[in-house]
A and B are shown apart, each in its own frame.
Chain A
Amino acid sequence: MLVHRVRTWVSQPALLLALPAVLAAQQTRTVNGRVTDASNGQPIVNVQISVNGTLLGALTSQDGRFTISSVPTGARTFVARRIGYGTTRQDVTVGEGSPTEVNFVLAPVAKTLEEVVVSGVGAPAERRVVGNTVETVAGDAVSEAPAATSIDQALQGKITGAVISQNSGQPGGGVSVRLRGTNSILGGSEPLYVVDGVIVDNSSEALISLSANASRGNAAISNALSDLDPDDIERIEVLKGAAAAALYGSRANNGVIQIFTKRGQAGETNVTLRSEYSLSRIAKRYQLNMSPYAGYTDVQYGGADSIGEPIQRWDLQDEILRTGQGTSNQLSISGGSGPTTYFVSGGYDYDQGIINNTDYRRWNLRTNLSQRLSDKIEVGVRGSYIDSKANYVPEGEQTQGVLTSVIFTPTSVNQFFDKNLGRYPYNPVLGPNPLDVMNDWQAPQRVTRMVGGFEATAHPFSSLTVKYLAGIDDYRQEDRYFQPPYSTSATFTGSVENPVAFSRQFNNDLTATHVGQISEMLGLTSTAGFRYTSDRREVVRAAASDLQPGQDLVSGATQSASQSLTELRTMGLFLEERASIADRLYLTAGINYEASSAFGPDERWQFFPRLSASYVIGEEPWFQQALGNTVSSLRLRAAYGETGGQPPGLYSRFANYVDLPFSGKPGLVASTLAGNDSLLPEREREYEFGFDAGFARDRAQLEFTYYNRHVKDLVLSVPLPPSSGFSSQFQNIGELSNNGIEVALNTVNVSNPGFTWRSRLSYARNRGKVTRLVTSADTLLDGYLNVVVEGQPVGVFYGGVFARNPDGTIATKPTNLTYNGRDTTVNLPYRAQDTLPGGGLVNASRIIGNPEPDFVATFGNTFDIGKRLQVGVLLDGRFGNDVANFSKRIAQLFGADRSNEAEISGDTTFRVYSLNPNGRSTTYEAYIEDGSFVKLREISTALSFDDPWVQRFGARRLTLRVAGRNLYTWTDYSGLDPEINMFSASTVSRGVDFATTPLPRQFTMSVSLNF
């Protein structure tokens, strides 16, 4: 049995061990050590130290130290590894008598093939072995992301090719993540999130519509992931492709994001205390009409008598916006002795939004405990409890929206509190007064949540690992929406809605892995596993109207209630076989056989295969001889996989009956939606290939991937002949494709004592196309302008266009208008029309834009200056995406926009914008703008001290940090923010800016102490 030629990979308490273990009881020793950076001598945190041949290991603390107890005496090999540094091994004889000290000095490298990845591969493995793309994000990149209140927000700019947009600037505002394009039409498009092996709920279904109306996809301002604190993250792995995600079978079409939280480390107890203070300000305000004279809409709504007369105006943004303050505090304690390690943390976050009376407050508590029961069995318990409360205001297309009112109302309307009326005046255009909504209405959202699990790992014998995980994500979300009586009109009796959602997701996994060495050249790792998940979501709604003054609970005179319940269960078996040939070529084949309750019994069990190959060609002797001087490492990889997607409704396959009372008696009739018992999962097939190349002794690494995916069996609503008694049915009939490239370049530009500079540049391009709908002429409309048509990407903008002259300029036609009581004729542009075959005209609609970017790019730099200073800058860019500027459309229509000033002063044609009678409001071409942007996503400066004077506080290290988020945006977009989307996480409707709160500029200062 050979040992030294075979690569061994080492386990942490949760990772997998490979070598024959020494079983007999032996003498043991405690080993200490410290890990420092070769370039500047600074300690390195979170380095994994492991001992070959054992389950033992540790993680270095903030000052680079580690302690491993119970190391069996004798010759041992210690391995130190960490993202961004070269893996280093030391052979040490652990002796009797004095404790052994093992120190490491690690040199910075761009990436390493020995980095261990856990997810998507069945059993943990080094990156070199994995043929499909797995992208990792280090924990401190997430936990130290300035002012990020949620994990998905902290990931912006850190995943190659991922388009991560924060949908609204309200605190706790949700984030929409797209990995490799949009992969469904009626289904969801957000990836699956897994925290420590537990599949967590990230629904963004609105309980109360505060932005987009419930009839339009019902997307909420926030998403459920915003509850999870980014502070406790150890590492994140992103599985973008089908090959990586195939293990998650029928829920993985949009990729999987695996989140791992911190564990304890054996040795000294580490206490970290961090306190942060932040300020938020709006980056750009609406430019409103401040002309001193009245315009057309001021006469219609503002009480002016004639156009051109002097008038007073107000910019209500002065009353609505504020500088928000916030704080984030975190205390974490980790440590362990012998067989027990623990990590405990607690935190409190409070953020004020940039709109008055909006804020977000969160308490969280986490406990991760591991206990080694014997040399063979280890158990762990992980739990976190979150309590969050957010106060929102309505926005977007809601008539009660606060920013909505700013764009809908001419600036000459006085909306301040009227002492003569004793209340806020009604808004002449919408009804509710925005200041009243902001000050007196209530729209809180309260979540209490528990995410946790139990894990047991056993090594019955050396080459076999069995692991069992049971986890739960249980939360209760309660929203409320209180509209006081008489607040929208004189006949409005008030209304309170109070829906409560109970969601519980439970999964358990049992995995067994066997590592075998068949011969010197051939190793085989076999994995088999079983997974069972059970999800349940219940929503109970209560609402009341006819309220008494002062009454804000659901106990008004008129009450209504409803309840809905959805359940989903999945069950799956998977098998995977990995062959490692000559430690150079790795072939993996796996199959996932999975069933979901959403499908009928005949179609329930589905196969999801995957294949991958990884060839570390750079280690071939002939390669090193030929190209070894320029290319220090090269790995070729290729993968193929299939994943599935759940149907849009978990009960879509049933033929249901619905209520139809008649003549005072209860009645039931069949729904006109026919059931479909042969509904299949949407199926994605993807192949990808690429390479990882290192240059200049791995100081630079280039990663390149090309992927090509085809999704078929998309669920669409197919019309049925009415003579069947039905009108439609969900069928698996659509197809789409996404293909593109992802490129990342990591470099260590300078690595000197006293100055280190690393960079990361990424570029990705995706081309999506719908290849099949029910009929090739179908145009499926979602939202306002986004449609799904064959031959185009999902969600292109489709709307009216200007009539044009033969030379391409915009045509105008004379239009009769009344101006100050006189009739006048002006030349105004108008909407183009098409002639129908049978004669007659119809408004013309064309494809006018695409909200998906042509390409995305990020550029991040970190500088380590001297022993104390660290500076990081992250630029996040998106190019070629179009935005539908509905905010501007409405503001111009109602005379509230700065461009309306020109109508009043005569610098542009009268009423070319204001309530334009020529159909300008539906000539959407005028409102599609290029939303390309580069944002200074993060910039931070940190000063660390571990001098003696720090120790007088009792601390080992003090870090002061000053940072900013979204401080600056370079863009030509004329609206407030090209990133926001009124339709939030909607699959098809993207890129719509309609009175949505923009992302604020955030500035933070923090102090951390390590004890």
Chain B
Amino acid sequence: MTTSTHFSSAARAAFRGAARGCLALLVALAATSCDLDLENPNAPPESEVVSDVDGMYAVAVGMQGQFANSIDDYLTTNSLTTDEWGTLSKALISYQEMFTAPSIDNSYLLVEEPWANSYETIKSANTILANIDQLGLGTGLRNQFTALAKLFKAMSYGMLIQQYEKVPITVGSGGAAAQPREVVLDTVLVLLGSASEDMQRVSDADIAQSRARLLGTGFDIRNTVSAMLARYSLMAGEYEQAMDAADAVNPAVLSVFAFPPPTRNPVENLAFQLGYVGALKSFVTQAEAGDRRPAYWVNVTAAPLPANPADSVILPLAKYSSPDDPFPVYLPDEMKLIKAEALARMNEQLDVAAGLVNEVRTQTSSPVDEPLAGLPALPASALDTQDELLAEIAKQRRYELFEQGLRWEDTRRFGNAFTTTPTVQFLPIPQQECLTNTSHPCG
């Protein structure tokens, strides 16, 4: 029996050949795609999306879409809890509770969606802000991105703080501690101020050049920034700043969110497609005689719709009744009312304030689609005290800014000047947030 240490020359040659073969095989295997870093071909990851300008345009458009698609979340809670809308018989139980009950269960989607959708928008904005400088774009274009991101971030926080009492500012994976409204409003104002500064370095030509890819149809970025600055400065009590910003807004421009098919106007979807909501008849009956605005907002000649609870009287909405109706980001007359309110609250130039209020009352024509009151002007004697002015401003806001998502906040700001109180004071923090946020915002 041969021992294992003896090899014939043939065997040695064979072994060498085999060894070389094995080695060659291993090298070949290593050289072929043994790469285990596979990408998902079905959907791009974030790293790829933010690495070029095409992706960044898509993220910016997506961010605007996120905000536009969440308008119905803000409006539903806002209008049902105040005296704007009522529920129809088909409405979900959560809608009915928002309309009638003093409190609302925090497990409802109605409670979670304004919260969740706002943070998704804020996160998109953060993504843009974090990555825009890596693309090496010119200032004109880069500042449009940053201004847009800051604007939508501010609008989202702004909408959040009108619905919930305290909200986190930091967007983090474990959840951050909830901040009180002064802190959040500060953040909003800082963002808007920064957006405004960014826009100063953007020319109209810059906007025109990138509008087709960057901005939604009919969305005017410059005026919207100023309008939001005015709105939230007023909320925060920064009256001078509110007035300056309101002055910068061009009243001949209507900045809108467009809803071409297959998308739908969110109010039309709620009121007609789903058939959940309609306008309270009290909105029409409590208007001043001769006010043309109820007819602008509500179909005043139609028969009432089957309502829930049955004792409320609901009329179908006129605005917005067509699925491709655009939704205004803000209405031009809000600026006049902001200025008037700022002056009134500062208790200065009350005559100027009264003049502004009368401009709103007497308006009969406009270059853009907005409500026209067609009322007679009030005499100076009716508007010469702070209280009278504030009461009249509150009333004008009711009819100018119907279903714009502002009335809930108005009830808090005007307090006793209001005739109605909202059924729910603030939305509770959503249940999923309570259960998973490591900072335990629900206590």
Contact = CB atoms under 8 A, between A and B. Distances in A.
Interface string B406-443: 00000000000000000000000010110111100000
B64 A662 contact: yes
B7 A721 contact: no
Given A22-B2, A460-B14, A668-B59, A655 B46 contact: yes
A723 B217 contact: no
A666 B436 contact: no
A376 interface: yes
A596 interface: yes
A721 B174 contact: yes
A597 interface: yes
B129 interface: no
B19 A565 contact: no
B44 A656 contact: yes
A667 B433 contact: no
A906 interface: no
A303 interface: no
A809 interface: no
B173 A724 contact: yes
Nearest to B43: A656
A671 B127 CA distance: 13
B43 A725 contact: no
A675 B263 CA distance: 28
A658 interface: yes
Contact of B436 (A654, A668, A721): A721
A722 B68 contact: no
Nearest to B41: A565
Contacts of A376: 11, 14, 18
Interface string A538-582: 000000000000000000000000001111111100000000000
A569 B40 CA distance: 13
Nearest to A24: B8
Nearest to B436: A721
B112 A722 contact: yes
Interface string A461-485: 1110010100000000000000000
Interface in B1-44: 1-4, 7-8, 10-11, 14-15, 18-19, 22, 25-26, 29, 33-44
A1 B5 CA distance: 12
A534 B1 CA distance: 45
A595 interface: yes
Pairs A-B, 10 closest by C-beta atoms: A662-B65, A725-B123, A721-B175, A667-B62, A667-B61, A663-B216, A722-B116, A656-B43, A669-B62, A651-B40
A337 interface: no
Contact of B435 (A530, A532, A564, A719): A719
A672 interface: yes
A669 B65 contact: yes
A666 B34 contact: no
B36 A604 contact: yes
A616 B302 CA distance: 94
A569 B435 CA distance: 38
B3, B171, B436 pick with most chain A CB within 10 angstroms: B436
B171 A724 contact: yes
5 contacts: A22-B2, A660-B65, A663-B257, A665-B61, A668-B61
Interface in A746-800: 775
Contacts of A377: 14, 18
Interface string B60-81: 1111111011000000000000
Contacts of B172: 723-724
B260 interface: yes
Contact of A569 (B36, B64, B69, B173): B36
A655 B438 CA distance: 22
Contact of B34 (A532, A601, A669, A674): A532
Interface string A663-692: 111111111101100000000000000000
Interface string A510-539: 101000000000000000001010100000
Interface in B334-363: none
Contacts of B11: 23, 376, 460-461
B258 interface: yes
Contacts of A566: 42
Contacts of A338: none
A1 B168 contact: no
Nearest to A653: B40
A671 B181 CA distance: 29
A531 B251 CA distance: 71
A657 interface: yes
B65 A601 contact: no
Given A657-B43, A665-B213, A726 B173 contact: yes
B58 interface: yes
A597 B59 contact: no
Interface in A698-741: 719-727
A236 B62 CA distance: 54
B1 A656 contact: no
A20, A460, A726, A775 pick with most chain B CB within 10 angstroms: A460
B45 A654 contact: yes
Given A567-B41, A722-B432, 10 more contacts: A460-B11, A460-B18, A460-B19, A461-B15, A654-B45, A667-B58, A667-B63, A720-B436, A721-B174, A725-B122
Nearest to B8: A23
B293 to A, nearest CB: 28
A435 interface: no
A377 B43 CA distance: 48
Given A604-B36, A664-B260, A463 B4 contact: yes
Contacts of B124: 669-670, 725
Interface in A838-854: none
B22 A510 contact: yes
A808 interface: no
Contacts of A674: 173
A125 B29 CA distance: 28
Contacts of A601: 37
B55 interface: yes
A504 to B, nearest CB: 14
A722 B114 CA distance: 10
B46 A670 contact: yes
A20 B2 contact: yes
B62 to A, nearest CB: 3
B45 A657 contact: yes
Nearest to B40: A651
B172 to A, nearest CB: 6
A662 B259 CA distance: 8
A661 interface: yes
A510, A604, A663, A671 pick with most chain B CB within 10 angstroms: A663
B36 A595 contact: yes
A450 B387 CA distance: 87
A460 B15 contact: yes
B167 interface: yes
Interface string A1-39: 101000000000000000010111000000000000000
Contacts of B305: none
Nearest to A563: B42
Contacts of B55: 668
Interface in A630-658: 651, 654-658
Contact of B115 (A24, A468, A675, A723): A723
Contact of A20 (B4, B61, B171): B4
A508 B37 contact: no
A722 B433 contact: yes
B95 interface: no
A23 B303 CA distance: 106
Contacts of A722: 112, 115-116, 119, 430, 432-433
B436 A466 contact: no
B49 interface: yes
Interface in B186-212: none
Interface string B287-317: 0000000000000000000000000000000
Given A510-B22, A657-B46, A23 B2 contact: yes
B436 A719 contact: yes
Contacts of A595: 36
